[in-house]
Structure 1
Amino acid sequence: MSAAAPAGPQPDAAAFPWDEAMALCFGTFRLSPRDFWALTPRELAALVAPFSRTRAAAPSRERLDQLLALYPDWR
């Protein structure tokens, strides 16, 4: 018989960013506290997802020059 996994957070698990989630939901979406706490985890994830994605880095100067060469009417 195997031992049961320990209850509670694992040592390498990151804490949920409650402050950021509440700031986004209360500030940006203007949710009431009642509506915020009534969200399911899936609903909360759907609201927060577009704001938590990593954005692409700006193009390098070399890439920008290449694009300007391809599209000279932008100058």
Structure 2
Amino acid sequence: MSTGFDWPALMRAGLYGLRLSPDAFWALTPAELQMMLGSKAGDAPMLSDGLAALMAAYPDKKKDHDDE
């Protein structure tokens, strides 16, 4: 069963990377650890509705011979 956390990697980052004591590491919330590691939530991926809106706002147009 997966818990969703890579505990060995998080412990290495907190204990060795940030040099936290075990007590300090285990007292942190996941959000606090994430902030200390510099991770921030990224933008949500663009889904088909977003792509359709972008294509409607900036349609491709064919180049006329008069434009040259």
After TM superposition, the score normalised by the length of structure 2 is 0.47
After TM superposition, the score normalised by the length of structure 1 is 0.44
